[in-house]
A = this chain, B = another copy of it.
Amino acid sequence: MLDSFEKQKTISKEEYDRELQRLRTELINAQYEFKKYKRPMIVVLTGLDGSGKGDLVNFMADIMDTRMIETSTFWQETDEEKERPYYFRFWNAMPPGGKLGIYFNGWYERCIKRHLEGTDNAEQFTKKLEEAADFEKMLALDGTVIVKMWAHISKKEQKKRHEKLAVKFKQSNDIAERAQWYYSNYEKITQSAEMAYKTTHNEFAPWEIIDCSDRRTREIRFLQIILDYMNRGLKAELPKSRTDNITGLSFPNVLDSLKQNGETDSKTYRKEMDTLVAELRPLAWEAYKKGLSSMIVFEGWDAAGKGGCIRRLLRAFDMRLSKVTSIAAPTSEELSRHYLWRFWRQVPRAGHISIFDRSWYGRVLVERLENITPPGDWFRGYSEISSFEAHLADRGVLLLKFFLHISDDEQLERFKERQEIPWKQHKITDEDWRNREKNDQYKDAYNEMFFKTSTRHAPWTIVPANDKKAARLTVLRSVKEAFEKALAK
């Protein structure tokens, strides 16, 4: 397919000059307008070795305003990246809204390479391509403009260029060998690229093929594509999610049927807690040695005791191994990217523990109920979250999700207590009282969340928490058991 695609008509010097002049002005204007766009535009630029991708990017730097362009390459994996799911680096490189991000080779290079080398078979390759498509769709529905370009040249042309470069830059042997590798794998690479094209070419992130035989032709085409897609973003001609029929359904009522514990006496509590802490400590170090990372999420009603549980966990987890992230309102940097961006950045290194006081579930809870996010957007959250958690599971991250449940009466009592004790007053605001009025809606949202995001690799543990002591013991015991199980693997 790629070899037989219609060659682009070669353009004359005069056409080139005329078109370039037009594109220069229009691109600059488009960039300045795009500055105000809420999300970035991402160009994945990949293709055959020797096609001149690097030159295209340098050429673009001559035409457009580079202050609004961020170029990222992914050839050199840092140990920080190796220890996290593959997509970590692509999230990390995400430019803020209004900017153009050039992802050099993007997420395709590695999966094509692994397929070529036989590390991934056809099925695994397809799975990775589908993952790529999911990732792109998620960003696109969130407003990111995405276009993928395949820079193509014929086999003959590739050979010619390799030879010319070798002479010009007196290249060392390893570079010459690398060129030879590309040349002798030309057909295989092209076939894999065709597979990638067929699997991931869609309305969310289309592919464009650039015929790179002729310099002038490829330069003009490259700029035309960028201008075209930037304008689509500006004219809001982007795919949208459906917003009909997303509320009103009811889900199994897990919370109301949950049995609360009786009161735990202080002596038993202290003894058990000390034992659990002592047992958890060496487990955390063992996980560190084995490179087992974990993420522990706490959600629950206001005043349910999330902080108390977290502080008990910290007695067991050395500060050098663990980090707590409290989720508050997003910063402007966070707001100008997909909402999962800030959570991807918190994925721990090998052997480390990230604890979350509230989490990415805010998307389908507070953002939903406070109308912070329109229905079409938060509703996609369920599948986006599942996909995020699947990436974690794939990489072997131990993900534990706790929901602390207290009754309405218990919450009321705790709110009142907070108002009376001076050092607890900061924990209670008018907003908390207003939220309480929405408790029924929250309950529905919680039940929907349990139903949709309890997966095999990341189930919810719902903890009866009217008795704080019992809740803390339950949490520490679950964590201990989960670590033991994961370490025994």
Q: Is A256 an interface residue (CB 8 A)?
A: no
* B58 adjacent to A25 (CB under 8 Å): no
Measured CA separation A27–B169 after assembly (Å): 65
Q: Which residues of A come within 8 Å of B, CB atoms? A: 21, 24-25, 27-29, 32, 54, 57-58, 61-63, 65-67, 71, 73, 75-76, 78-80, 104, 168-172, 278, 281-282, 285, 307, 310-311, 314-315, 318-320, 323-324, 326, 328, 331-333, 349, 357, 422-423, 425-426
Whole-angstrom distance from the CB of A347 to the nearest CB of chain B? 14
CA A57 to CA B318, docked complex, whole Å:
11
The answer to whether B278 touches A168 (Cβ under 8 A) is yes
Q: How far is the CB of A349 from chain B (nearest CB, A)?
A: 8
Say whether A25 contacts B422, CB under 8 Å: yes
Known: A169-B282, A423-B25. Is A79-B76 also a contact (CB below 8 A)? no
Residues of B within 8 A of A57 (CB): 319
23 pairs from A and B in contact (CB 8 Å cutoff) = A21-B423, A24-B423, A25-B422, A25-B423, A27-B423, A28-B425, A28-B426, A57-B319, A58-B311, A58-B314, A58-B319, A61-B310, A62-B311, A76-B320, A78-B78, A78-B79, A104-B319, A168-B278, A169-B278, A171-B282, A331-B332, A331-B333, A332-B333
Q: Which of B65, B79, B311 contacts A61 (CB 8 A)?
A: B311
Pick the contact of A422: B24, B311, B328, B349 (CB < 8 A): B24
Q: Which B residues lie within 8 Å of A79 (CB)? A: 78-80
CA distance A285 to B170 in the complex (A): 13
CA gap between A411 and B280 in the complex, in Å: 69
Which chain B residues lie closer than 8 Å to A80 at the CB level? 78-80
Bound together, the chains give a CA A485 to CA B57 distance in angstroms of 30
* Shortest Cβ distance from residue A242 to the other chain B in the assembled complex, whole angstroms: 35
Measured in the bound complex, the distance between the Cα atoms of B326 and A155 in whole Å is: 38
Residues of B within 8 A of A333 (CB): 331-333
Given A21-B423, A169-B282, are A104 and B28 neighbors across the interface (CB < 8 Å)?
Answer: no
Please judge, given known A-B contacts A79-B79, A320-B76, whether A357 and B423 are in contact too, CB under 8 Å. no
- Quick check: A169 and B104 within 8 Å, CB to CB? no
Shortest beta-carbon distance, A401 to chain B, in Å? 20
Separation of A54 and B57 alpha carbons in the complex (Å): 50
Given contacts A319-B57, A426-B28, contact A281 B169 (CB under 8 A): yes
Q: Closest B-chain residue to A27, C-beta based?
A: B423
Q: CA of A98 to CA of B281 in the docked complex: distance in angstroms? A: 33
Cβ B25 vs Cβ A328 within 8 A:
no
Shortest A98–chain B CB gap in Å is 12
Most buried by B among A27, A66, A80, A282: A66
Min CB distance A27 to B, Å, is 8
Task: Determine the chain B residues whose CB is within 8 A of the CB of A323 once the complex forms.
Answer: 71
A28 to B424, CA, bound (A): 9
* Cβ of A136 to closest chain B Cβ, rounded Å: 22
Q: Which residues of B contact A27 (CB under 8 A)?
A: 423
A6 to chain B minimum Cβ distance, whole angstroms, is 29
Across-interface contacts of A78 in B (CB, < 8 A): 78-80, 349
